Every structure is written in C-alpha cells, then in structure tokens.
Chains A and B, each alone.
Chain A
Amino acid sequence: MNAPEPFLVVENVEAVYGQAILALRGVSLTLGEGGVVALLGANGAGKSTTLKAISNLIRAERGQVSQGTIRWRGRDILGRDPSALVSDGLVQVLEGRHVFPQLTVEQNLITGAYVRGLSKLRIADDLERIYAWFPRLKARRQSRAGLTSGGEQQMVAIGRALMTRPTLVLLDEPSMGLAPLIVEEIFEIVRQLNRDSGVSFLLAEQNANLALRYADHAYVLETGRVVASGAASELARRDEIKNIYLGGGSAAAAKPTRH
C-alpha cells in the first residue's frame, strides 16, 4: 500500500553548529499540502534550527545537518542551495524581523521578486497583491524599512517572502516582541493566505496558545527533540503544554479573545 507522501517530510534530523554543538537530536515531522503546522517550544528548543535545516540557511550560520533526511514534494532537498529552494517555492521568514533597514518598504518587497526574474510590470502586479494584504505597507511604501514600527517590519518581512510566490512558508516567531493586536492581525493574514492561496505554513512559535489556535497540527520541541505532537485542538486541551510553555504573564496576554 503506497499512500502519497506528505508535502514536507523531516525524518530523524540531527543538526550541529560549528561541528560541536548538537542543536537537533533527531527531529521528525510531516506537513500536508495546504496545512498549517506549528512548532512549539521554549527558547533554544531547536525551532529555528529545524526551520533553517529545511531552508538550508543553517549553512550560513556555520551549521549543518549531520543526519536524517528532508523531503519536500517527494524530492530530497537536504543541502540544496537556498536560492534554488526559494525559486522552487520554499521560503523562510527569519526570526526577529530581518528587513533591509536602509531600503524603503517597497524596495524591500521588490527584492523578494528578484529570484523569479520578473519584468517590472509583473513585479508591480505582485506588489499590489501584497499591499492588498497589508494596507499599512502601502501607506509607508517610501519610508526606510528600518524606521517603521515592529509590526510593520514583520509585515515587510512576510510580504517580501510572499513576493517569491511560495507554496511553503517557514515562519519563525512572527509574534516576537509585538503587541497582541498586531500579532492577531498578522496571524489572521496567515490564515487568509492559507485558505485563499493554499500556501502551507510551518510556524515556529513560543506562544503556544496563540499558535494552536491557527495551526491544525503541532509538534512540541524540547532540547532538540520532539516530545509531543498531535492535532492542534487536542494539544490545546493538554494543560501541561500551556503550563510549560507559557509563563503566567504571557499566558494572560495571549489568552484567546472571544468575539
């Protein structure tokens, strides 16, 4: 019996930084096409490293995958050139809002289209698409990205990644350091993108409560291992997950709002 392989399959991946520090100790996960999967865990649990192992940006930080396999759309992508992955439709949004501070908001977005080598006209079309999702960015299109607010920078980072026309987005800590209302706005856009455009998301997030509301499946990482996984709705009911990964203060801040 041969069930079709899921969209993204990470199997038993071990990753090291600088030949010595073992950051992942056998992480396995799968993501179905069109799914939203959350990677939960505390700081240093290995969420970012997992994403970077998939996008192969880990190499830029002197790390490497020492064991395991990573398959995307049925093909082995371990160690592929990050640029080739981006042009195939796999893009990572880095943790901490890595915008290009000296470029304007619009130039930031445009750089995302370069990998596809489009004409100016097509780029302008795609820009309008991004502005439709993030109207705030349109108002600030001529500002230097470094001078915009934290929430706007996160939108620039996501919008720039969307300019590559991805089918899989690895989204690293989108809520980090942002006000709850802005976080809500960003997650709503993620949900919309997922539903309307069928973009799949692998979402690393410390704020488990929040992430579980938007994901359909989740994995919990602890010191480089998967220690729990399951449907998001089921994990959300497990008290230990809430308790372990949400300190009292942030739990209060991230309490689901009921409309």
Chain B
Amino acid sequence: MSFFLETLVGGLLAGVMYSLVAIGFVLIYKASGIFNFAQGSMVLFAALAFVTLREAGWDFVPALLVTLVVMVAGAIAIERFVLRALIGQSDLTLFMATLGLSFVIEGLAQLFMGASVHELNLGIDDIPIEVGPILVSQFDLLAAATAGALVISLSLFFNFTRIGISLRAIADDPLAAQSIGIRLPTLWRIVWGVAGLVALVAGLLWGARQGVQFSLTLVVLKALPVLIIGGFTSIGGAIVGGLLIGASESLAEIYLGDLLGGSVSTWFAYVVALAFLLIRPAGLFGDRAIERV
C-alpha cells in the first residue's frame, strides 16, 4: 500500500512539472488565441542563460534577475516584432510563426551558449524525506510549492487586477474589448512578459532535474496532453491536467510496465489525452462557449 502511495505521490509531484510548462501556453492562448509552440524553447533558453551566468561566476540572485530581465524583454520583443505583424492572419499562420520562432530561439541559444549539457544546481539536496509512511523527494516538494505559489498569484492577478480582468475580457471577446477602449497590444505585451517569467521558473526546475540540454524543449510535447485534459484556457485545468498525467503515467509504468514491455511512461500520457479528446474535447476546465437555450 505504501508503495502504491509513494508511486502516486511521486507521479503527482512530477505532474506539477508538466503543469508549469502548460501554464505558459494557457496564458498566451487565453489572451491572443495563439498556440505558442516556442514556449518549450523559451524554457530551454531561460535555463541555459541562467546556467551560463552561473558558470561564469555570477551569484545566484543576480544571475536570476538578469535571466528574468532577458526572458521578459525577449518575450515582449517576440510579441512586438513577430506576432504584431501577423495580426489578423489565420490561426495556422500564427502557429507556424511560433514553430519557426522555436527554431530561431534554439539556434540563438546554441550560438551564444553552446550545445553541451550543463548541470544546474539550485542548492536543493534531492534527498528523499519521510512524510508519514512514504518517502518523498525534497526537490519535487519544492517544485510543487513553487508551482502552487505561481498559480495562486496568477489567479489573484486574473481575478482582482485591472490588467487581469482586461485579459479575461480579451479572451472572451477581443472586438468588444476594443470597443470599450482596451488596448490589445499593451495587454499582449504584458501576457508575453508573464509567459517569459513562467518559462524561467519551469526552465530552472526542469533544468535542475534533467540537466540543461536541448532535450528540454521536448517538455512541450508533454505539455500537450496536459492541455488537452485540462483545457487550453484554464490555469487550474493546467494544474489538474498535469497532476492527472503525472499520476497516471507513473502508476501505469509500475503496474502495466511489465505487461506491456516497459517504458509505458513515454506514451501513456498521449493515450490518456486521446481518450479525453473523444469524451470531452474542451478538456475538464476549458471554457465551453456559454450558450443559452
């Protein structure tokens, strides 16, 4: 029993890491309807920039601040110089633009910071600690706490600040938002900046867990099933989706792994997502259009 619990908790905590990446997608998708494929590259870029500064001898805090500035400024620049020019184009065009962007970002990262694998040490020992009857990774707990703090601040932001409510207004009806004087470009800039920040948090945690390397961009592919399950427009959904994927993945690995010949966790998330697409295409928490009958 405690083995089951341990697997479950371990899976849930790992799922939080997926959620962190998925939140970045949700933010931009909600505000502008763009599926930002470059989110994964932003995660990599953040981790790589931070680790490069650290290896150059910078202290933790200044390195973090500089990376933050670079990420936010970079994200705002992407909005201003790439996506602004494409306003009014089809969703597919915008998606292709972000796909292209992801290669540009990866290329730049490689050009300036090299392609070797770096170790990222956040100063947290990954020693399991005992919580009741089970062992839990300390690092995973910290990641979960970080994600929790991020989600709480984002939901306060969206529900109680002018900018947050304006962003939800834009997500609901961009034309109506413009009709009462809400400036779309200003808010897009803000949301891209926030997405840059989220990418930084995800990049540090993923980088510390896996090492900073180019395969980090592949976390995008794990964020996809999370988004399908949680819905593309809900931050809470991204969290629940991540937890579901994380838990089902690690349970499947343990309990179905032998039956199916191992490495179940590489594909199980996609099967779960597929099932959701068939049963509930808007996801658990996605905004279904409110329709009165």
Contact = CB atoms under 8 A, between A and B. Distances in A.
Interface of A: 55, 57, 60-62, 81-83, 85-87, 91-94, 98-103, 107-108, 110-112, 114-115, 144, 146-147, 149-150, 157, 160-161, 163-164
A112 B180 contact: yes
B182 A101 contact: no
Interface stretch (B73-81, B109-117, B161-169): B161-169
Contact of B180 (A144, A146, A160): A160
Interface stretch (B123-131, B258-266, B285-293): B285-293
Contacts of B162: 114
B168 A100 contact: yes
A102 B181 contact: no
Interface string B163-190: 0011011011111111111110000000
Given A101-B290, A147-B290, A57 B179 contact: yes
Contact of B181 (A87, A100, A144): A87
Contacts of B171: 102
Say what secondary structure dominates the interface of chain B. Answer: helix
B181 A82 contact: yes
A102 B168 contact: yes
Interface of B: 88, 162, 165-166, 168-169, 171-183, 287, 289-290, 292
Contacts of B183: 81, 83
A16 B290 CA distance: 32
What is the interface of chain A mostly: helix, strand, loop, or mixed?
Answer: helix
A57 B175 contact: yes
A94 B181 contact: no
A100 B182 contact: no
B179 A100 contact: no
Given A98-B176, A100-B176, A115 B168 contact: no
A62 B88 contact: yes
12 contacts: A94-B175, A98-B175, A98-B176, A98-B179, A100-B172, A114-B162, A114-B180, A114-B181, A146-B292, A161-B179, A163-B180, A164-B181
Contacts of B182: 83, 111, 114-115
A24 to B, nearest CB: 19
B156 to A, nearest CB: 15
Given A114-B166, A144-B290, A101 B181 contact: no
A107 B165 contact: yes
User: Which 3 A-B residue pairings sit nearest by Cβ, starting from the closest?
Assistant: A86-B181, A115-B181, A146-B290
B173 A98 contact: yes
Contact of A100 (B169, B289, B292): B169
B193 to A, nearest CB: 19
B168 A103 contact: yes
A144 B179 CA distance: 20
Nearest to A144: B290
A189 B168 CA distance: 29
A172 to B, nearest CB: 10
- Most interface-central of B178, B180, B182 (chain A CB within 10 A): B180
A186 B18 CA distance: 50
Contacts of A150: 292
A121 B162 CA distance: 14
Contacts of A163: 180
A213 B203 CA distance: 64
Contacts of A102: 168, 171-172, 287, 290
Contacts of A87: 181
A147 to B, nearest CB: 6
